[in-house]
Amino acid sequence: MSTAFFVTGTDTGAGKTFTSCVLLHALRQRGLRAVGMKPIASGSEATPEGLRNEDALALQAASDPRPDYARVNPYALREPTAPEIAARHDGVTVTLPPIEAAFDALRRQADVVLVEGAGGFLAPVNEQLDQCELPRVLGLPVLLVVGLKLGCINHARLSAEAIRARGLPLLGWIASEVEPTMLFPDEYFAALEAALRPWPCLGRLPHAPGADPASLTPHLRLPEGFPSA
């Protein structure tokens, strides 16, 4: 059994954070100590405690035991834009050692660590580093979140191919209903199941803004022993 995995999405707004929070609650319901991590997060607000990102705070709240914020989110960037651009505006150079140190600390305090990427799988972090390097360096299998919307079949296939091309295990995928007015969502879902074989679909989350993530765990269909590579 792998004690950690990496959550990526077909693109920005695919529902990675909400899906990750539901996953954390599902793992906790199995009696596991499960914590979330978002190594790089743009769109952070100044607080008396320092910069805080909404997605990273949601992961922290869904975790048990509750980790320190600095370990959940080693790089909090101010501007709500691509991490590469946000880091440049903050005068920050993102490097791997602080991320690896925070990940190792989280792994010592939990049974499972969920690491959520920023944006899509190939989104750049800086001129030398792309998101896809994080699961490679940390040695993590990948879970793909597919935002159900126009274009998602192409984006999902491209993402899966990029993951496979880098020799990373793909645990499966989860559909996230991000557009409540989408035409023919059931047909799109069926098309995704066909397009993404042989990788299993591990759930389909409804569009539920404001819902408690713990209440949506029945929509997942995680195999026994999840996660595993």
- The set of catalytic residues is 38
> Under a CB-based contact definition with an 8 Å cutoff, are residues 175 and 206 in contact?
no
Residue located via tokens 């049974």? 111
Helices assigned H by DSSP within the chain: 16-29, 54-62, 69-72, 83-90, 96-109, 133-138, 152-165, 185-195
Q: 3-state DSSP call for residue 68? A: coil
Q: What CA–CA distance (Å, rounded) separates 112 from 17?
A: 16
Cα–chain center distance at 179? 19
> Under a CB-based contact definition with an 8 Å cutoff, are residues 176 and 136 in contact?
no
Q: How far is CA 72 from CA 88, 201, 213, in A?
A: 21, 27, 18
